[in-house]
Amino acid sequence: MVKRRQPPTAQSREQQLQEIWDQLPTITCQGLCADSCCSMWQTTLEQQIIQRRTGRTLPLIHAGSPCTALTILRRCSIYEHRPLICRLWGMTASMRCDYGCIPEGGFLTDRQAYELIAQVAELAGDHEGAEQIRAPFRRNPEAVERFLRAQQKNRDLDWHARATRPDALQVLPGGQLERRNR
């Protein structure tokens, strides 16, 4: 007799998601990167967990606008429950933190980061999406790495341009912000 595999329960998927999150290295966030926080891709599973744990409903994607989870003080109101993509910020060289936060033990490779994203997509039932995430690394991993490094270089240039504007805020010791006067 063939035993049918039971579909995972919400609780078991949540536990599996926690196990994926637990694979990430530790990083000490200085809390200065709110300018990098925008509404990003997340799975419906992550959205459901955030809603259940925090009572907040974040849009799945609303690219280009600040993240709705940021408080008026520009801190993440769901930090302990944030989606994987937010947890990966600062974890790879192509998604470096502009303020110098580096994960303990060094950066994940882009391939490792995208594999974790694919695992979360699969856990949420999006097997086709997971395959699309993995496919470029199977076809031409070097080209993917070059593309991601180029994207980071563009983010670095954009951040530098914003940070050196005369009206830019600068970070003082203790994390206080002050308007730059030139």
Structure tokens that stand for 99 in this block:
């303020």
- The C-alpha atoms of residue 64 and residue 57 are separated, in whole angstroms, by 18
Q: Mind listing the pLDDT tens digit for each residue in 127-143?
A: 999 998 898 888 887 88
29 is a domain residue = no
Of all helices (H) and strands (E), which one includes residue 50? Answer: helix 44-54
Q: What is the mean pLDDT of residues 115-120?
A: 94
* % of the chain beyond a pLDDT of 90: 27
39 is a domain residue = yes
Which range marks the domain in which residue 150 is found? 10-23+34-164
HSE (side-chain half, CA atoms, 13 Å) at 177 = 13
Q: Mind listing the pLDDT tens digit for each residue in 66-101?
A: 788 888 888 889 999 999 988 999 998 888 888 888
HSE (side-chain half, CA atoms, 13 Å) at 109 = 9
Q: Mind listing the pLDDT tens digit for each residue in 92-113?
A: 888 888 888 889 999 998 889 9
User: What is the reported pLDDT for 169?
Assistant: 57
Prediction pTM value: 0.74
81 is a domain residue = yes
181 is a domain residue = no
* CA atoms 69, 71, 76, 80: torsion sign: negative
- The C-alpha atoms of residue 33 and residue 76 are separated, in whole angstroms, by 10
Provide the domain count of the chain.
1
